[in-house]
Amino acid sequence: MQELSLLSQITLYILLVLIGLLTLIIWGWQIQVLRGKDMKNPDGSADNWHEQKIFYGISVADIFWPAL
């Protein structure tokens, strides 16, 4: 296996950290959906999973499906 150059290693680790941060933000948002909190929209309105159950299903699938 070939060793990566220093610049490639730095770039790789930066990208991995950014992907990890994005994953944590999305995971936190999905946990809030599971707790029943409203999701704020840019136009000032809010979506509630009680009204749109697809959001709840997506959150359940995204959080628990990989564990199966």
Condensed to tens digits (0 to 9), the pLDDT of residues 35-54 reads 877 777 778 877 766 666 66
Q: Which one has a higher pLDDT value, 17 or 2?
A: 17
| Alpha-carbon gap, residue 27 to 36, rounded angstroms | 14
Contact at 8 Å (CB) between 63 and 34?
yes
Between 13-17, 27-31, 45-49, the lowest mean confidence (pLDDT) is in 45-49
What are the tokens at 36?
């029943």
With a threshold of 0.85, does the pTM exceed it?
no
Q: In the predicted model, what is the mean pLDDT of the chain?
A: 79
Q: How far is CA 15 from CA 11, 12, 19, 22, in A?
A: 6, 5, 6, 11
